Amino acid sequence: MVTKRQLGLIFILLGVGAAVGMFAIDLLGAGQFQGIGPAQRRALLAAGAAVLLGLTLIPLGDRPA
């Protein structure tokens, strides 16, 4: 069974992974914008929201999710 702490860590890892992926795509030059485009901005905001959600779940401990 997955605990709330484990679920929080999963959300954090997915959010950070998505942010790193967005910057990797930007470095590869995909897309038509110089720098961070509007779709990447939205994806980074969603990744940040996932990290924040994960951070709120960690203090809840070992209760089942």
Question: Is 65 a member of any domain?
Answer: no
Asked if residue 13 belongs to a domain, the reply is yes
What average pLDDT score do residues 2-15 get?
95
pLDDT band for 4, please (50, 70, 90 cuts).
very high
Q: Summarize pLDDT for 27-62 with one digit per residue, the tens.
A: 777 666 677 778 888 999 999 999 999 999 999 988
The predicted model scores a pTM of: 0.83
Please give the tally of structural domains in the chain. 1
Query: Which residues, in sequence order, are bridge partners of residue 3?
Result: 64
**DSSP codes of every residue in the chain:** --BHHHHHHHHHHHHHHHHHHHHHHHHHT-SSSSSS-HHHHHHHHHHHHHHHHHHHHGGGTTSB-
Structural domain boundaries enclosing 11: 4-60
> Does residue 33 lie within any of the structural domains?
yes
